[in-house]
Chains A and B, each alone.
Chain A
Amino acid sequence: MSAQGSVIFKERENQIHRKGDGAFEMDCNRDSLAGAVSQRACVFCGSRVVLYPIADALHLVHGPIGCAAYTWDIRGALSSGPALHRLSFSTDLQEMDIIFGAEEKLYRALIELIDRHNPKAAFVYSTCIVGIIGDDLEAVCRRVAAEKKIPVLPVQSEGIKGNKREGYSAACKAMFRLVGTGDTSDISDLSVNILGDFNLAGELWIIRDYFKKMGVQTVANITGDGRVEDIKRAHGAALNLVQCSGSTIELAKMMKESFGVPFLRVSYFGVEDMAQALYEVAGFFKDKDPEIVERTRELVREELSVLYPELQKYRKDLCGKKAAIYVGGAFKAFSLVKAFRLIGMKVVMVGSQTGTEEDYRDLHEITDEGTIIVDDSNPLELSSFLKEKDCDIFVGGVKERPIAYKLGVGFCDHNHERKQPLEGFVGMLNFAREVHSSVMSPVWRFVPRRKEKA
């Protein structure tokens, strides 16, 4: 039988909107459609993504081997010290474990690994099958924590419980157990925690450096280049800065409720958002330190004076080119829309795996007429959008890359595997350079689809 008609599933029609096509309305946060090859991952993936960069903790995946093997050292989250997070630990459940339960195996694995690595804490991830066989993670963790005198935290991340967002939530709950247990005596009045940044390619260090120049102390990185001790005393910070729409907001909310730490939502991608983040922090602390505003202005001015002339070079080449965006979380999509504008490009498609109704409404606000907005897309749709809009570049992750390349469309990797910092002012420059190096490459003239057009 042959495939007929549109590549868009009837069930998914309401998860796609074209700006200008009637009133904005969008379905999202639905379960992925069976057989549709969703680009989404699972709950476990969400938890793993958030907690992974905590470099001095042990991360043990309780489940069959795959879940652990596929997440072994796949992210570019750097550490300035210990690198325990880069190892992949698993209980590698076998048939007998499934039949008789694997609590004892989990217990012994934990003891063995804690003895070998002396971690500051251990996170134990539950996977689909553990949810089914019903191992009591909580009890095993308690037993090991008592014996080994370190926090041993269960992460209830059974894959089937939903998508990545439930995983973020499970990760936040696990981390929250640490918060409030550390010493906060030497924390400055001008202090923040950085939430929702994973120090990919050292990005978090760039941001920390800005704050340092402003005179603001960073207490805990949550979780890039993360340390257990820092998280324990994170409640001592004056302010939480939350990046990434979904991943750590729940932790910020819990900290606000229990410890009264206020939070601000920020993004460090693109010039506008980066500068705004710094100004907001300065604004927050200006009563305590009136000069911070001027220091921040100076910092931004200095950065921009270097950045703008450089950016202009790329802008000249890129002006009028068309971009498509498909990323995990919607916050990144916002920043990217603005960043593309800054280099003169038009965004013609934007989507995410796990955006909320509110996210999409905001995206609808800031995009141009005709832009396609899509939730939880799949390869067939994405490739039809890329063709329809005749894009010059596609921003996404590893799974999106071959779709772009097969169509002769440039690509920019904006996922967790990236090895190039894209945050901060310097990140904007890297981004422009990367987009430029793909869009302007001579290879496209040889690609059959583009050649036909030329």
Chain B
Amino acid sequence: MERSNYVSTTNACKLCKPLGACLAFKGIEGAVPMLHGSQGCATYMRRYIISHFREPMDIASSSLGEKHAVYGGGPNLKQGLRNIMTKYGARLIGVATTCLTETIGDDVPMIVKEFKKEMGESGLHDLPALVTVSTPSYSGTHMEGFHAAVRAVVEQVSSNEDSAHILNLLPGFLSPEDLRYLKEITDDFWYPSVILPDFSMTLDGPALTDCEKIPGGGTPIEDIRRMGGATATFEFGSTLADFNSAGKFLRDRFGVPLHQMGIPIGLRETDVFFDALERLSGTACPEKYVLEKGRLIDSYVDAHKYLFGKRAVVYGEEDLVVGLTSFLSEVGITPVLCATGGKSGHFKTAIERVTEGIAPPAAGPEGSSAVQPPAVYEGMDFQQIEELALQLSPDLLIGHSKGYPLSKKLGIPLIRVGFPIHDRFGAQRILHVGYRGTQSLLDLIVNSILEAHQDDSPVGYAYM
């Protein structure tokens, strides 16, 4: 199945780099994300993020105007930093650049260095940690921005002064619910972990007596400092081979052993994660998870007939799509198209890795049973996804909200996962990972298929 190539982009299946960076910074205790650029970018991203999490998301901006574009944005950046310090009491300020400031060539690390010096001279000693990351959107997507920010944080904050009996867990961009579950898992293994970033509280906070300036929670900065001395790093992501990731930095700089693995979705990828945890901790998998896994397999069996041969289009962030595709092929669903707006260059191999030898033949619409591996494409937009999907007659779509118009057009269910989810409630509480997350995805998918079936039938069965 060949896709068309276009000069223009229609309905992008990606977001811009600084958005990812802001999300990553948001997962650090006491942190305020800041964009060095004009005001609009920050406001747009805030709205986009707020609509998904339904939580406050303050992103400061250096609010550059035309004159700054000519003379450089340094003074504004410094003023912005000062203002965030005094009004927010930030313990860390994460500064991400934007297309604008990259193009006019502002040297942000340099400006920040000057700023620190000036503040030091003024006798102010308790400066917040200042982390800078370069995130021009004209190369890469929000996911590169996310990973780059995580790397920047460890690069600029971590050390190996003390060796620590801890596990660094770099989960990538998951939901707050996912992060809570991961924490629970490592706690149950009795293995102290540092999850970076951790926005399980900052982007899904409880009702309190006040609207906190900076919501509580997030990875403690003290913990980030200790990451250089950790026993190991687990880094989720199947397409990070060429990426200068935080895990690689910790390995190359401090010698922390790195285990890169896919996002644990589905049985096989989750097994990899749990096996690694068992090995690291020397503890057998706690009974709780053995049971979760057992129930998951049991429900795979219960569900298999509803799912076999169903054709799915999966789209979104590369690593998420890989995890989902892995899971779908385990239950007999045929991924007919795997699409992403990203361009890591490793998407196809990663999809092959998780589908090889397990994906059942894609029976074509005419019932041909020739084995067809899924069509796998990077750099896709929804124009291209739609063109292919219309030919592939899928039974369901799996991805974020932006696929809704397509699901409506095709009259098939959309299983909402990932980011953004702008048309449903509870996005921050969707569990995607581990045996438990896979279980809830499975239930959701089976029920959507049953519902579609029920709705399409004139009989009105109340017993499926």
Contact = CB atoms under 8 A, between A and B. Distances in A.
Contacts of A73: 405
Interface size band for B: 35 or more
B44 A71 contact: yes
A257 B35 CA distance: 42
A361 interface: no
Contacts, number: 242
B213 interface: yes
A406 B213 CA distance: 11
A66 B16 contact: yes
A4 interface: yes
B243 interface: no
Interface size band for A: 35 or more
B23 to A, nearest CB: 14
Contacts of A109: 7-8
A9 interface: yes
Interface string A105-135: 1001110110000000000000011011100
A405 B65 CA distance: 33
A296 to B, nearest CB: 39
A448 B7 contact: no
A126 B370 CA distance: 49
A108 B12 contact: no
Given A65-B137, A449-B209, A42 B38 contact: yes
A40 B39 contact: yes
B128 interface: yes
Nearest to A449: B209
B60 A70 contact: no
B349 interface: no
A35 B83 contact: yes
Interface stretch (A87-95, A138-146, A277-285): A87-95
A219 B303 CA distance: 58
B48 interface: yes
Contacts of B88: 3, 380
B59 A87 contact: no
Contact of B138 (A68, A94, A399): A94
B357 to A, nearest CB: 36
A43 interface: yes
B16 A399 contact: no
A64 interface: yes
Interface string A421-445: 0000000000000000000000000
A31 interface: yes
Contacts of B260: none
| Nearest 7 Cβ contacts at the A-B interface | A42-B40, A66-B16, A35-B80, A3-B89, A35-B83, A34-B80, A109-B8
28 contacts: A4-B89, A9-B83, A35-B79, A35-B84, A37-B58, A41-B40, A64-B136, A66-B41, A70-B45, A72-B402, A87-B11, A95-B136, A95-B138, A109-B8, A112-B7, A128-B100, A129-B100, A133-B103, A160-B65, A162-B66, A379-B56, A380-B88, A398-B47, A399-B43, A399-B47, A402-B50, A406-B208, A448-B207
Interface of A: 1-4, 7, 9, 31-45, 60, 63-74, 87-95, 97-98, 105, 108-110, 112-113, 128-129, 131-133, 159-163, 379-380, 383, 387, 397-399, 401-403, 405-408, 446-449, 452
